């Protein structure tokens, strides 16, 4: 399983590197399909939809992703101590991922779509999208935690979180502040970094990330109860 995850992570990283190379070689010019999707979005912006989409896109930045990442740790950990450790690891994964994305952002320096097409505020370079990266990485952390512990309603939770992660990325195109290839790049970057973090967790925190078993100690305690003497 670990080998498959490593291979998947490397493949995703290679796809991101290829896309970044293409964007760089084109000096940041839109890729095929980028303009068509942007102009479609510009032509389908009723006021009520724009207001709702702005609200959704705001959940991909600020405190919300970090709260969700910490929640992922609470879900994944089986004891109080483990919950703290995994929450810290999740926050570290998200925070370092943000820093690495910003480094790539400035290294490539791709311009955003024309400002007259924007339906919300934006600043900085365009590739990869920050909101899309953050939401995708956060969604991956939460989904992993849910699948590790398999609580009731897990499939619905996974579907909702996954849809949120994808939808936040798409809002950036709808609002005109990113090309679709910026969002694709963000998803690839997020998944590649998540795979690296998952690999590190499997190596350094195996007891914390292992699936729960019926004979596990009570989640509220740090150790199994001692037998009566």
Confidence category of residue 19, pLDDT binned at 50, 70, 90: very high
Residue 38 lies in a domain: no
- Per-residue pLDDT of 85-107, as tens digits, reads 999 999 999 999 999 999 999 99
Range from 33-47, 52-66, 127-141, 202-216 carrying the lowest mean pLDDT: 202-216
Q: Where are the beta strands (DSSP E) in the chain?
A: none
Residue 96 lies in a domain: yes
Residue 194 lies in a domain: yes
Residue 225 lies in a domain: no
Residue 36 lies in a domain: no
Residue 33 lies in a domain: no
Residue 39 lies in a domain: no
- Per-residue pLDDT of 133-144, as tens digits, reads 999 999 999 999
User: How many domains does the chain divide into?
Assistant: 1
Q: Which domain holds residue 170?
A: 2-21+60-209
The stretch 73-95 carries a mean pLDDT of 92
In angstroms, rounded to a whole number, what is the distance separating the alpha carbons of residues 186 and 222? Answer: 38
Among candidate residues 98, 113, 111, the one with its CA nearest the CA of residue 23 = 111
In angstroms, rounded to a whole number, what is the distance separating the alpha carbons of residues 164 and 152? Answer: 20
Residue 223: pLDDT above 50?
Answer: no
Residue 43 lies in a domain: no
Q: What's residue 6's pLDDT?
A: 81
| pTM (predicted TM-score) | 0.88
């Amino acid at each position: 399983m670990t080998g498959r995850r490593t291979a998947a992570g490397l493949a995703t990283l290679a796809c991101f590197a290829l896309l970044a190379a293409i964007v760089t070689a084109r000096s940041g010019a839109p890729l095929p399909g980028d303009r068509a999707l942007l102009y479609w979005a510009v032509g389908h912006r009723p006021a009520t939809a724009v207001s709702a989409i702005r609200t959704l896109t705001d959940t991909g930045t600020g405190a919300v992703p970090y709260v969700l990442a910490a929640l992922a740790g609470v879900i994944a950990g089986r004891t109080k101590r483990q919950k703290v450790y995994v929450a810290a690891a999740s926050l570290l994964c998200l925070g370092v991922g943000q820093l690495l994305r910003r480094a790539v952002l400035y290294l490539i320096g791709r311009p955003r779509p024309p400002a007259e097409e924007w339906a919300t505020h934006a600043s900085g370079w365009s590739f990869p999208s920050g909101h899309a990266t953050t939401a995708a990485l956060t969604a991956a952390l939460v989904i992993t935690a849910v699948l590790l512990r398999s609580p009731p309603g897990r499939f619905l939770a996974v579907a909702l979180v996954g849809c949120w992660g994808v939808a936040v990325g798409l809002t950036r195109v709808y609002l005109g502040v990113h090309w679709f290839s910026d969002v694709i790049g963000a998803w690839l970057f997020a998944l590649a970094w998540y795979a690296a973090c998952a690999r590190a967790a499997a190596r350094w925190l195996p007891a914390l990330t292992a699936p729960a078993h019926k004979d596990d100690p009570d989640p509220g305690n740090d150790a199994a109860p001692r037998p009566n003497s």
